[in-house]
Amino acid sequence: MSEPAIVIDAKRVSDLLDRLPAGEASALPEALRAAQAAFRHVPREVAAAVARRLSVPASRVFGLATFHGEFSLFPKGEVVLKVCTGAACHGRGAPTLLDELLSKLGIASGGTTKDLKFTVETTNCVGACAMAPVVSVNGELRGNAEPSAMAKELLGGRS
């Protein structure tokens, strides 16, 4: 997966690190959440700086960042679309919906547009089978998603 170009503001990194208690390994999950919120991902250089600040091995930081689904080492778009591919959604058109979104955006599943506007991912189940197919838009569920209507609503004039 190629990473979109993104510039990491040193001041924002410094501010993030200043809020962390030096040498406190227990602050690691919150540090990663802060980085994810600030940069829409956990930049590698920020993860390394967090490791130094908290006095933990970099492998521990990267291990946590890659294990938990809430974190990403790659930039996420402003809008994160998660297409449910569970059994009910699959049977009611999720593959077509996913293909339509990916085609319109020109990315692969799990990818982010170069302008960092959209990320499209799949998820196994969102627990809303009665509304299948379902798309989560930045955490807000949209049910009975019709492929062309959903693409038009979310992507507007993109083609």
Residue whose C-alpha is closest to residue 62's, from 17, 31, 19: 31
Taking the C-alpha atoms of residue 146 and residue 128, their distance in angstroms, rounded to an integer, is 16
Comparing 16-30, 46-60, 82-96, 111-125, the range with the smallest average pLDDT is 16-30
Question: pLDDT tens across 31-72, in order?
Answer: 999 999 888 899 999 999 999 999 999 999 999 999 988 899
Distances (CA, A) of 110 to 24, 33, 98: 33, 20, 11
CB 71 within 8 A of CB 31: no
User: What's the pLDDT band for 90 if we cut at 50, 70, 90?
Assistant: very high
pTM, 2 dp? 0.75
Which amino acid belongs to residue 106? Answer: G
Burial bucket for residue 69 (CB in 10 Å: 0-12, 13-18, 19+): exposed
Which of 11-20, 62-71, 93-102 shows the lowest per-residue confidence on average (mean pLDDT)? 11-20
At residue 94, the pLDDT reads 96
Are 89 and 129 in contact by the 8 Å Cβ rule? The answer is yes
Question: What fold characterizes domain 79-155?
Answer: Glutaredoxin (3.40.30)
Asked whether residue 1 carries a pLDDT value surpassing 50, the answer given is no
Residue ranges, CATH 3.40.30.10, the chain: 79-155
| Digit-coded pLDDT (tens) for 18-27 | 888 888 889 9
